[in-house]
Amino acid sequence: MFCVNANIVLMTIWIPDLSSHRGPRYLAIADALATDIRSNRLSPGDRLPTHRELAYRLGVTVGTVTRAYGEAERRGLIGGEVGRGTFVRSDISVRTNARMASPMPGANSHGVSEPGLIEFSINTPTDLDAGGEYDATLRATMTDLAGTQGIGALLNYQPNGGTQLHREAGAGLLAQHGIRVDPNRVLITAGAQHAMTVALGALTEPGDTILTECLTWPGLRRLGDFLRFRVQGLPMDQDGILPDAFEAACRGRNIKALYCVPNLQNPTSIIVPEQRRREIAEVARRYGVKIIEDDVYGFLVPDRLQPLVNFAPELGVFCTSVSKSMAPGLRVGYLGVMTEDSSLITEAVRSTTWMAMPLAAEIAARWIHSGEGERIATKRRDEYARRQAAAREILSGLPYHAHPNAMHGWLDLPDDWPADAFALQARIRGVAVCPTSSFSLTRNGRNGVRVSISAPCSIDTVARGLDIVARLVREKPRVGFSLV
């Protein structure tokens, strides 16, 4: 919603349908709000009814609506402005992801539903098959598979955590990330997101609290909603999570786990220095907090530091996958379970999908053993290095932060350019970026946008999109034009 006069904002007449939502009324209201945002019944900037008005319309107490709005704000769906009301956040990524789940007619191979939109809002790997090389690699692998004796066994049920050969391949890949773990403690999952689901599902119970960076992967918040655990963000500086803040959050509370991305953190692109990793591990040890380390971007860092979990291995669960490094369609993830929770997490794999797809795991294993996977990963690193070099040139003079090989970078914005309004203006001009609200777990997150340079099909498209972003950030927001 836009308004010329900032003092005049129309309230949306919104009455949620609670008939299909079970559980406590406040959760039903929050769930209905999420449903109506996904279905576009509510739009970014819509002002919601007051607590008292909605309570009257639904026949519930004002306190119930207050709890419902509080839960919706925790999920990142809405935000309040003192003296102005409660508004639907302009979370562009949630709406983009909803469209991607069900592409509209004319959507391209990445599921983007708007023709001509330059997609900087999703961290999807670059399509390497422009010259047919990717196609040839898969064809050769499938031909080799077809001639393998007993290949039909891959269509049968396998052990929940994966076959021994697939676990050994996973252990080999984890070793490249600096993790030395017995193959029997490696679990094969249906991608990294599934790995996070089974690890957090096994280690938490409803109502538990998981700590993470104050700006974090949006999927963690959605997992919290699904598994009913709370997600609490910790303050960060240029080196990552502040150890003192981590300790303060643990003191006197039963914190189950810390989820973190020390290599090319999403969305800030931070690489946590070794000393900070040691300090975080020391705090985790003092309070017995499990560490779930997500390293899906680690392959992009040539001289990787010691994984954080290596400084407290008895508390560590380490995750990576081949989705970013090799091929997103393989959906194969690897969990190195260094704690004593291996059987619990294996049971979670059984409960959610029984087993990862053996055929995909076989292809990944072959590419790991043959070195084909590393060749593809190197090609990706080189491509992203070219794109980041272009980004540094085009965004020169602006506060853009990114590793030279990263899939994404972070662009800080001036205080008078609110990230949500900037993202909406960028989209109007044909470029999709992700604002702070997509990642923030606190009210005082950085004002900026994540720019994912990996998704567009060519470096020329990347340059065109970055030029639009650079020109927009140097403009002043139009007088009297604001997103509320």
- Residue 415 belongs to a domain with what CATH number? 3.90.1150.10
The pLDDT of residue 460: 94
Are residues 166 and 242 both part of a single domain?
A: yes
Low-confidence ranges of the chain (pLDDT < 50): 1-9, 82, 92-113, 479-484
Residue 140 lies in a domain: no
Q: What is the mean pLDDT of the chain?
A: 87
Are residues 301 and 261 both part of a single domain?
A: yes
Are residues 237 and 259 both part of a single domain?
A: yes
What span, in angstroms and rounded, lies between the C-alpha atoms of 120 and 98? 16
Residue 141 lies in a domain: no
Q: What is the CATH number of the domain that holds 335?
A: 3.40.640.10
Are residues 417 and 308 both part of a single domain?
A: no
Q: How many domains, in total, are found in the chain? A: 3
Residue 100 lies in a domain: no
What span, in angstroms and rounded, lies between the C-alpha atoms of 391 and 473? 14
What span, in angstroms and rounded, lies between the C-alpha atoms of 211 and 284? 11
Are residues 364 and 379 both part of a single domain?
A: no
Beta-strand (E) ranges in 180-276? Answer: 186-189, 209-213, 230-234, 236-237, 240-241, 257-260
Q: Where is the domain boundary, 60, 88, 116?
A: 88
Are residues 362 and 386 both part of a single domain?
A: no
Are residues 43 and 58 both part of a single domain?
A: yes
Contact 432, 422 (CB under 8 A): no
Are residues 197 and 113 both part of a single domain?
A: no
φ/ψ of 11, rounded to 5, equals -85, 135
Are residues 109 and 177 both part of a single domain?
A: no
Are residues 363 and 397 both part of a single domain?
A: no
Residue 361 lies in a domain: yes
Residue 151 lies in a domain: no
The domain in which residue 288 lies consists of 157-370
Are residues 333 and 188 both part of a single domain?
A: yes
Encode pLDDT of 232-287 as tens digits.
999 999 999 999 999 999 998 889 999 999 999 999 999 999 999 999 999 999 99
Six-digit token pair at 338?
Answer: 């260094």
The pLDDT of residue 8: 40
Residue 229 lies in a domain: yes
The pLDDT of residue 52: 85
Are residues 191 and 225 both part of a single domain?
A: yes
- Cβ neighbours of residue 3 closer than 8 Å, sequence gap 6 or more: 9, 482, 484
- Cβ neighbours of residue 473 closer than 8 Å, sequence gap 6 or more: 398, 411, 413, 414, 417, 422
